[in-house]
A = this chain, B = another copy of it.
Amino acid sequence: MALIVQKFGGSSVSDAASIKRVAKRIVEARQAGNDVVVAVSAMGDTTDDLLELAADVAPEPAPRELDMLLSSGERISMALLAMAIHAMGYEARSFTGSQAGMITTADHGSARILDVTPVRLREALDDGAVVIVAGFQGFNRDTRDITTLGRGGSDTTAVALAAALGADVCEIYSDVDGIFTCDPRVVPMAKKLNVIGAEEMLELAANGAKVLYIRAVEYARRHNVLIHARSTFTPNEGTYVLGDGMPDPRLAKGEAMSDVIGKEEPVVAGVAIDRSQAKITVVGVPDVPGSAAAIFSRVAALGANIDMIVQNVQSASPGHTDISFTLPKDEAEAVAKQLKADHDELGFDNIYFDDEIGKLSVVGAGMRSHSGVSLTLFEALSSNGINVEMISTSEIRISVVLRDAYLDAAARAVHTAYGLDGDVEATVYAGTGR
């Protein structure tokens, strides 16, 4: 008898019908003889509606009160879900973040989990009840106030519960079948991965893959939680995200080693694409110590998160250099404006703003031990006449910046070049994968 933590997002509990469907799914896991703990998000657009209400009464809602307001969303979904399970003849109890012992920092709107003390959850499990926990929320011990975890909070809640309760697996349900070698809406021949390393998953998520949130994967990796990303709409297995040295669960299920490992593991696990970034190029910066620092200190002051940086010596005018960097589109304009304003102190010739770029990343733990991985990437791109504008690499990732317009074609070409194409087109569901 296993302990399973399941997480269902807002789109999975958007109305009474879908809540009943999820309840059925939970009861099936219970009937299979498992202890079940569920983390649930607020129904459909509840959170957005509440944010709208808040904006209507106050231009800048007080953070403490905003968390109090938003935390009501999960109370609604979790209570309804518990009722639906009751109605199917099974005991179920819902718990708020504070009742579940989800102790966080006091940073309203973006609180971090400090500790989980699931005393009441254990009691409920011992009583044979299905446990429903409000995702996305916790409380701070010093202020005794309610907090929320910010974007992707419910995934983090689920993983944190799995860690605290020593769950066998943390199932993150969404409207896609699992983690794909690339977004099937862009690369139809993308394959669903049966397993992926947490390290690779982090690189994919950080570079545009949307199925899992980085924070949750990080937490799972740190606390050795096995994540199973799967679909609400099918009983099929999805993708297992394996922490360092974690055994492949399919082996544990007694499947033959050959089924699992089969041929040699591919060097590249997947290809991620990202259209959320813009590029700023500062031309003709005096090539003296501190000139780059002067620029990036201003960027940091605006709280912008820089992704890639490239610096070239200007062949044209010696003693000068060009600096290009990428950052989220919604942060880029303010940064460009600030730099222009400080033109005199920074003493550059010109500044260019470009929001028509796309980033393609190739991720694979195998890169560590294989050479020539990047060659395959550049050949695939050049043979398709696609120009590379920027390059950055990590131990297990190569990222390139291209024209946005060529990004999809590039993804398909690279996906094929690394031998990732499947035999059949992937089924694509509506929705974002969240």
Say yes or no for A179: interface residue by CB 8 A criterion: no
A62 to B88, CA, bound (A): 12
Tell which of B65, B81, B84, B96 touches A82, judged by Cβ atoms closer than 8 Å.
B65
Which residues from chain B contact A71 at a C-beta distance below 8 Å?
75
Say yes or no for A266: interface residue by CB 8 A criterion: no
Say yes or no for A290: interface residue by CB 8 A criterion: no
State which residues 26-78 of A face B: CB under 8 Å.
50, 53-54, 56-62, 64-66, 68-69, 71-73, 75-76, 78
Do A83 and B99 contact each other (CB < 8 Å), given the known contacts A16-B56, A19-B57, A53-B16? no
Say yes or no for A7: interface residue by CB 8 A criterion: no
Which residues from chain B contact A19 at a C-beta distance below 8 Å?
57
A60 to B62, CA, bound (A): 38
A194 to B59, CA, bound (A): 40
Closest beta carbon of chain B to A345's beta carbon, Å: 38
Say yes or no for A86: interface residue by CB 8 A criterion: yes
> For residue A49, which residue of chain B has the nearest CB?
B76
> For residue A76, which residue of chain B has the nearest CB?
B72
Which residues from chain B contact A75 at a C-beta distance below 8 Å?
68-69, 71-72, 75
| B65 in contact with A94 (CB, 8 Å) | yes
| B94 in contact with A57 (CB, 8 Å) | no
Closest beta carbon of chain B to A101's beta carbon, Å: 12
Tell which of B58, B65, B86 touches A58, judged by Cβ atoms closer than 8 Å.
B86
Which residues from chain B contact A69 at a C-beta distance below 8 Å?
75-76, 79-80, 83
> For residue A95, which residue of chain B has the nearest CB?
B68
Say yes or no for A120: interface residue by CB 8 A criterion: yes
Which residues from chain B contact A56 at a C-beta distance below 8 Å?
16
Closest beta carbon of chain B to A404's beta carbon, Å: 39
Q: What count of chain A residues pass the 8 Å CB interface test?
A: 40
A61 to B92, CA, bound (A): 12
Which residues from chain B contact A83 at a C-beta distance below 8 Å?
54, 57-58, 61-62, 65-66, 69
Which residues from chain B contact A64 at a C-beta distance below 8 Å?
93
Which residues from chain B contact A263 at a C-beta distance below 8 Å?
none
Which residues from chain B contact A65 at a C-beta distance below 8 Å?
79-80, 82-83, 86, 92-94
Tell which of B54, B78, B94 touches A80, judged by Cβ atoms closer than 8 Å.
B54
Closest beta carbon of chain B to A243's beta carbon, Å: 34
State which residues 341-396 of A face B: CB under 8 Å.
none
> For residue A86, which residue of chain B has the nearest CB?
B62
Closest beta carbon of chain B to A178's beta carbon, Å: 28
A21 to B323, CA, bound (A): 54
A69 to B73, CA, bound (A): 10
Which residues from chain B contact A59 at a C-beta distance below 8 Å?
87
Which residues from chain B contact A79 at a C-beta distance below 8 Å?
54, 65-66, 68-69, 72
Say yes or no for A230: interface residue by CB 8 A criterion: no
> For residue A123, which residue of chain B has the nearest CB?
B144
Say yes or no for A279: interface residue by CB 8 A criterion: no
Provide the A183-214 mask, 1 if CB < 8 A to any CB of B, else 0. Answer: 00000000000000000000000000000000
A132 to B255, CA, bound (A): 59
Which residues from chain B contact A50 at a C-beta distance below 8 Å?
76
A120 to B54, CA, bound (A): 24
Which residues from chain B contact A20 at a C-beta distance below 8 Å?
57
A79 to B73, CA, bound (A): 13
The interface centre, meaning the residue of A81, A82, A92, A96 with most chain B CB atoms within 10 A of its CB, is A82
The interface centre, meaning the residue of A16, A79, A80, A81 with most chain B CB atoms within 10 A of its CB, is A79
| A58 in contact with B84 (CB, 8 Å) | yes
**3 nearest A-B pairs in the assembled complex, by CB-CB distance:** A16-B56, A69-B79, A58-B87
| A99 in contact with B144 (CB, 8 Å) | yes
